[in-house]
Amino acid sequence: MVFMSLNKRQCFDCNQNDSASHRTFFRKGSVLIFFKKGFGLWQAIMIILIISGLMVVVLKYSRIAAEHTADTYVREQLELYLNSVVEMTLLEISLRPKTNCVTNDYSPATVTKKKVVYSANVDVTKYYLLSGVSEFGVNNSLCSATIVDIESEETHGMVLLEVEALATVDGNVTSRILRRTLQRP
């Protein structure tokens, strides 16, 4: 081998028709380190595979993040709808004549917003009335809800509500909240 005075040298003893003719080498002390100019086909394929694998991971996590954001939005809207249903039920109870109690026959309005249908089922399970008070007919016989006799005037007229709110997208229930609450109408 013939060496030039530069640190980077061309290989002169390689056959020009050989694929090794495009090699360069560096001398580090007594060790020769060979480098091939450019990329090989397998290196280019490996780089493409690594980049495509990273893109698949990025797209997967962005889809998960988008679904989580959408589910959070639907859940928050359902919470607001549930609070509105409770308030509407209490208003309905306070507006009805005392001879007609609200039980399972009250259906709040269904709301559709951005292809999401919000609906609720309201069940008035208990009325809390003072002992001896018959607001719903004789012995409260006109009301199918359970009537609990109480001794305190502060809690007279309170109701125990079971409210189930559903958010439905394309016929599939995406979110469901069940709330039991003690309220005064």
3-state secondary structure the chain: CCCCCCCEEECCCCCCCCHHHHEEEEEECCEEEEEECCCCHHHHHHHHHHHHHHHHHHHHHHHHHHHHHHHHHHHHHHHHHHHHHHHHHHHHHHHCCCCCCCCCCCCCCCEEECCEEEEEEEEEEEEEEECCCCCCCHHHCCCCCEEEEECCCCCCCEEEEEEEEEEEECCEEEEEEEEEEEECC
Residue 83 lies in a domain: yes
Whether residue 33 lies inside any domain: the answer is no
26 lies in some domain: no
Q: Indicate whether 106 belongs to any domain.
A: yes
Domains of the chain: total:
1
Q: Is residue 149 part of a domain?
A: yes
Q: Is residue 138 part of a domain?
A: yes
The answer as to whether 38 is a domain residue is no
* Tens digit of each residue's pLDDT, the chain (185 residues): 444 444 444 444 444 454 545 566 666 677 766 666 677 888 889 999 999 999 999 999 998 888 877 788 889 999 999 999 999 988 888 887 666 666 656 778 888 888 899 999 888 888 787 777 666 655 555 566 777 777 777 777 788 889 999 999 888 888 899 999 888 87
pTM score, whole prediction: 0.61
Residue 13 lies in a domain: no
Integer distance in angstroms from the first to the last C-alpha of the chain? 102
Domain that holds residue 132: 45-183
